[in-house]
Amino acid sequence: MTLVAPKIVRAAWRLVPAPLRDWLRGSTGRQFVRFVPVSVAALAASEITLAVLVGVAHVTAGLSGVIASIVGAAVSYVLSRWAWHRTGKPHVLKETLPFWAVSAGAWLVLGLASHYASVWAKSMGMSHTQQTLFVAAAYFMANCVTFVTRFAIFHYLLFADRGSVRRLAEPVDAADSVAFALAAEAAGSAPVGAMVDDPAAADPAAEPPVRR
């Protein structure tokens, strides 16, 4: 089992276009990889909330979309601070308020998408279950659009003061090290074992180890 996972990673990595592989190796690409699970968790929380409100509580689609967006934004805020290595008390003016302002824009987009999807589904004579699935699908597509927009704002504006620079200055997490080492090996770089830091290679003046 331990040998299967690296093979799957290598096979999947070879399917990625070369320009995208190069981008994923860069600082922005690595940050994007960290942001993906954040958005997945936020999307899951908001989709579950939307399904419960529309399908079970029979709340209007527009209001359900806004409430689901708020739930997703709360999850995204907590996890985004982890993704950009934010610790301690957040700065209200520089971080908290701008984050929720961006989220409010996303709520507007998601609320409108849910509302008009519901109106269109009703006009097509769909059943209640079909309407729920259709609204959820429209909400998901709108989330994909806001995902890319939010990442660009967070990475280049909101967390740019110390997120990207700090990420380059800190050691790579163990999980990230394994993933990128396997990816580099699959791309034809040095083997994974050769990527371990070698003190002698880092310091040419260091004395070689004594053989006994």
Q: Once rounded to an integer, what is the mean pLDDT over residues 102-125? A: 88
The whole-angstrom separation of Cα 158 and Cα 147 is 15
Residue 162 has, within 13 A of its CA and on its CB side, a CA count of 10
Q: What is the pLDDT of residues 38-79, one digit of tens each?
A: 989 988 998 899 889 988 888 888 788 778 878 988 998 999
DSSP per residue, 11-27: HHHHHS-HHHHHHHHSH
Q: What is the pLDDT of residues 177-209, one digit of tens each?
A: 444 444 445 444 444 444 444 444 444 445 555
Nearest CA to 154 out of 68, 53, 48, 39 is that of 39
Q: What is the pLDDT of residue 18?
A: 83
Q: What is the pLDDT of residue 5?
A: 61
Q: What is the pLDDT of residues 30-40, one digit of tens each?
A: 888 888 899 89
Identify the helix (H) or strand (E) that includes residue 49.
Answer: helix 27-51
Q: What is the pLDDT of residue 195?
A: 43
User: Exposed/middle/buried for 168, CB within 10 Å: 0-12, 13-18, 19+?
Assistant: exposed
pTM, full prediction: 0.55
The whole-angstrom separation of Cα 31 and Cα 83 is 7
